[in-house]
Structure 1
């Protein structure tokens, strides 16, 4: 999971997409805190990691559906000017 985030970090950096870079950096930090919380059995870190992972997966599924134009999601908007 962390390797995938690191790979995405590199590709986003090459494209100068700074918001995804910051999101990936936050993902890496939360993964490290989640691992630390699991090893040290810190329940708060585990809860933060679980909630963040659920949000991160939801966001990535939304982005995938958006780019594949699943359902009503569309990258192209048609405006009708009367």
Structure 2
């Protein structure tokens, strides 16, 4: 049986994230919204830095990548819940936007 260390696993995860975000970037270029394109570009840069930090064993890069990954997952969960209108999320956001003017 083969053995894959934590470092090998992190390199695999970074590689898979890079492939997925590049695919998402291609589909975002078909639309007219520039915010997801810029967010994906920043995510690509952070994933490359995480990959570099894993290969070169730079703890500061790995820590930055881990923090960014938590923020990225949190943002994606929020967007999914917002589009699925989970709970009162869409009503609260619409209320805040409507009455803030």
Q: Give TM class, smaller chain.
A: 0.7 to 0.9
Check if 1:64 corresponds to 2:80: yes
**RCO (CA 8 Å, sep 6+): is it higher in 1 or 2?**
2
Mapping of residues 37-56 of structure 1, within 5 Å: 37-56=53-72
How many pairs are equivalent?
Answer: 79
TM superposition shift of 1:13: 1.1
Give the CA RMSD over aligned residues.
1.8
Partner of 1:22: 38
Partner of 1:73: 89
- Structure 1 Cα separation of the partners of residues 42 and 79 of structure 2: 18
Runs of 4+ that moved beyond 2 A: 75-79
Q: List runs of 5+ in structure 2 lacking aligned partners.
A: 1-16
Q: Which runs of 5+ in 1 are unaligned?
A: none
Report Cα offsets for 1:8-59 as digits up to 9, x if no partner: 1111111111111010011111111001001111111001100000000000
